[in-house]
Amino acid sequence: MVKRLDAENIEYYKITGETSKQKRMELVKQFNEGTVPVFLISLKAGGVGLNLIGADMVIHYDPWWNVAVQNQATDRAHRIGQTKKVVKNTIEEKILKLQDSKRDLADSIISGDNVGMSSMSRDELMELLGV
């Protein structure tokens, strides 16, 4: 992602797990008040209350195993004070829908209620399994 942004001369801010709390807050403030269009944040850099009210789109390009953590990260861009219209019908929404389907399938298998599986076509099941 960084290489592509650099190649396209697109400005961005970046926070990783190694970025200090003070630097994180400075970058968030600059992003919310400025014109830099992209803010890259590793989910491992969470836990410090970063509110990206300047964001109009959130894409998790490195989805994590804990969906609740992803949802919290996304919600940080949709807070009181949001001034931009948040984009709908994105690839992220499709990924989240797929995650929901996988979770429902797993719950159905674990509970022994195979109703969810029996209502799926072979192609849908193969898509969920990534085959």
Give dist(CA 103, CA 69) in Å, integer: 15
- Distance (Å, rounded) from C-alpha 71 to C-alpha 47? 13
Quick one: tokens of 118? 């029996």
Backbone φ, ψ for residue 102 (5° rounding): -65, -40
No. of H helices and E strands in the chain? 6, 2
> What's the pLDDT score for residue 9?
95
| Contact between residue 78 and residue 90 where contact means Cβ atoms under 8 Å apart | no
The predicted pLDDT at position 60 comes to 67
Is 119's pLDDT higher than 80? no
More confident residue, 113 or 40: 40
Provide the pLDDT for residue 77. Answer: 61
How far apart are the C-alpha atoms of 3 and 65, rounded to whole Å? 25
Mean pLDDT of the chain: 76
Q: For residue range 38-57, what is the model confidence (pLDDT) as tens digits?
A: 888 887 776 556 777 777 77
